[in-house]
Amino acid sequence: MLSLNEIQKPHHQKRRKRVGRGNASGHGTYSTRGLKGQKSRSGVSNLKRLGMRMQLLQTPKIRGFKSDKLKNQAVSVKAINASFKDGEVVSLLTLKERGLIANSKVPAKILGKEILTVKVTFSGVKLSASVAAQVK
């Protein structure tokens, strides 16, 4: 059982030495930086001191950016002619069921220069300009 005489103070981490607070502290005047030179002056980055500058210069910088927008899954008109019948609805779910797209949560776009032979309705699917003209 814990008793009052066994309680200890919480162990604090050692405080950082405050350098450059007068000569009486023992670290006044030059504040343990030495006399002259680049490292003794203010405004020198710690990266230079740690020797990380060359490492930073050697790492390749990736140019540009990667868009967060998802790319459309392409479906050809030829595939729609082959797998749909007249009067059916072409949506992300039906395209997924027929195996024309991999994921029903990613947008899809109907592409192609072929002629659309089946009379289907499109819902929730993007159309290219040539396909949109055929649908109208």
For 29-78, how does the pLDDT look when each residue is reduced to its tens digit (9 = 90+)? 999 889 998 888 888 777 666 777 788 888 898 888 888 889 999 999 99
Q: What is the pTM of this model?
A: 0.53
CA distances from 107 to 83, 113, 127, 129 (A): 19, 20, 11, 17
Q: Domain span at residue 118? A: 73-135
Q: pLDDT digits over 86-135, tens only?
A: 999 999 999 999 999 999 999 999 998 899 999 999 999 999 999 999 98
Tell which residue, 114, 101, 98, has the closest CA to residue 70.
Answer: 101
- Which CATH number is 107's domain given? 3.100.10.10
pLDDT in tens, 1-39: 788 888 887 777 778 888 889 999 889 899 988 999 888
Domain count, the chain: 1
- Among 44, 40, 43, 64, smallest CA distance to 53 is for 44
CB-facing half-sphere around the CA of 28: CA atoms within 13 A: 6
Looking at this protein, which amino acid is placed at residue 56? Answer: L
